A = this chain, B = another copy of it.
Amino acid sequence: MIDASTRTTPFTALAAEPRGLKGVVVADTAVGDVRGAEGFYHYRQYSAIDLAEQRPIEDVWQLMIDGALPTTAAQREAFAAEVRPLRAIPPTVAAVLRVIAQVSEPLDGLRTALSLAAAGRGMRPNIDIDAAQRRADALFLCAITPTLLCALHRLRRGLEPVEPRDDLGYAAGYLWMLTGDEPAPAHADALEHYLISTIDHGFNASTFTARVVASTGADLGACVVAAIGALSGPWHGGAPSRALALLDEIATPDRIDAVVRPLIESGDKIMGFGHAVYRTDDPRSVMLRDVALRLVAGRPVDDPQRRLVTFAVGTEERVVALLDELKPGRRLRTNVEFYAGVVMQLCGVPAEMFTPTFASSRVIGWCANVLEQAADNKIIRPSARYVGAPPPAVVPAYAG
């Protein structure tokens, strides 16, 4: 425990916290948690993996925002009826979406479009509105995100946006808006597993960003737009396509050692391996490997998709062995990103949409965290230790 009273002493030999605040508890939360040592994480009181296996994402969305799972058709329908009309792109945003799509990757485009949509909705600072209004703002941002992402993707490729459909579930509807084709149920189910499993995950950098912004009393839009920026960083959400790119680079099983060993030896991070919190298998990775294997089960051995999954599983085994050999004691395992790319590729999500698709589910977690922060807030304002040249120096004269 830190004695806060000593921390305001300026310019002395203060010890900085562990770099990156790693392991430092910055707040209390009832949204969920990650138990790194156990390879377990949960949303509210439920295992996230159990939820992914047993519930549609709409139920988990309701759990995250309202705190309870629906258990009756009436509860489920009430939530769906609230959310359905919020998915349409507002006219103001539609008017400029083509320009945004022209110059922006989909995730950066989402950042711009959501920023505009929030302003267009007239969102007011969280501290000036009640919990019901904050909840409505949160549902709006969560509902419009998949629509915007798919429209941005299509416009960028010269295709017209596809409208959301009321008769499809969330993941099927996502693939519909993305491709314009009704997806195979197995693909919708696989993607839904991925989406549910990525809704929340402790105080990762984007969730923490959302909470810091929320702590200033800013509106939901400001919080989510900021979080999107954090997610766009390659060290956070930007890696699923890089993990798949590693598989592409390795290309064949006999090349694993030749490609990966030098990377490890030179100290490079291996995309798709290692995690800030897990010291054992990442439960998302374990589930997504199963999801991938189920998708290709029963197909011929030379089916390209089956070959991709087999290759990925083989690569995982070999790379983990190499990491154990070259980084003994670190226990580096596949993280969520390794199989996320595989599953999304199998479902027909193009690589440029991997991180945006992650944003589509994570926005629910961001909003749940912002709502919690807004309900019991204190501004997050840490300190730094100054290590530059000692002040005050005389301002040098300008010689003109």
- What is the distance, in angstroms, from A78's C-beta to the closest C-beta of chain B? 14
A105 — which chain B residues lie within 8 A by C-beta?
Answer: 119
Please determine whether B388 and A208 come into contact, CB atoms closer than 8 angstroms: no
Alpha-carbon gap, A395 to B232, bound state (A): 33
A213 — which chain B residues lie within 8 A by C-beta?
Answer: 205, 209, 226, 229-230, 233
Alpha-carbon gap, A3 to B58, bound state (A): 41
Alpha-carbon gap, A138 to B112, bound state (A): 19
Please determine whether A25 and B21 come into contact, CB atoms closer than 8 angstroms: no
Q: Mark A333-352, 1 if CB is under 8 A from B, else 0.
A: 00000000000000000000
Contact pick for A385, options B8, B17, B25, B398, CB 8 Å: B25
Please determine whether B277 and A8 come into contact, CB atoms closer than 8 angstroms: yes
Q: Does A30 contact B (CB under 8 A)?
A: yes
Contact pick for A2, options B24, B69, B221, B235, CB 8 Å: B24
Binds B, one of A36-44, A174-182, A184-192, A324-332: A36-44
Q: Does A133 contact B (CB under 8 A)?
A: no
Q: How many A residues face the partner with a CB closer than 8 A?
A: 132
- What is the distance, in angstroms, from A118's C-beta to the closest C-beta of chain B? 7
Please determine whether B92 and A102 come into contact, CB atoms closer than 8 angstroms: yes
Q: Does A266 contact B (CB under 8 A)?
A: no
Q: Does A378 contact B (CB under 8 A)?
A: yes
Q: Does A125 contact B (CB under 8 A)?
A: yes
A24 — which chain B residues lie within 8 A by C-beta?
Answer: 2, 4, 7, 17, 24, 382-383
Shortest Cβ distance from A383 into B: residue: B25
Q: Does A155 contact B (CB under 8 A)?
A: no
Instruction: Report 15 cross-chain contacts, Cβ distance below 8 Å, ordered by A residue.
Output: A4-B22, A8-B279, A10-B37, A26-B383, A33-B386, A46-B393, A51-B395, A104-B120, A112-B112, A112-B115, A206-B216, A208-B380, A213-B230, A222-B228, A225-B229
Known: A27-B385, A112-B119, A218-B236. 14 other contacts (CB 8 A): A8-B37, A11-B33, A24-B24, A25-B384, A33-B391, A72-B398, A92-B99, A100-B116, A104-B120, A108-B221, A205-B381, A208-B381, A212-B230, A215-B235
The list of the 5 closest CB pairs from A to B, nearest first, reads A216-B233, A7-B23, A30-B388, A222-B229, A226-B226
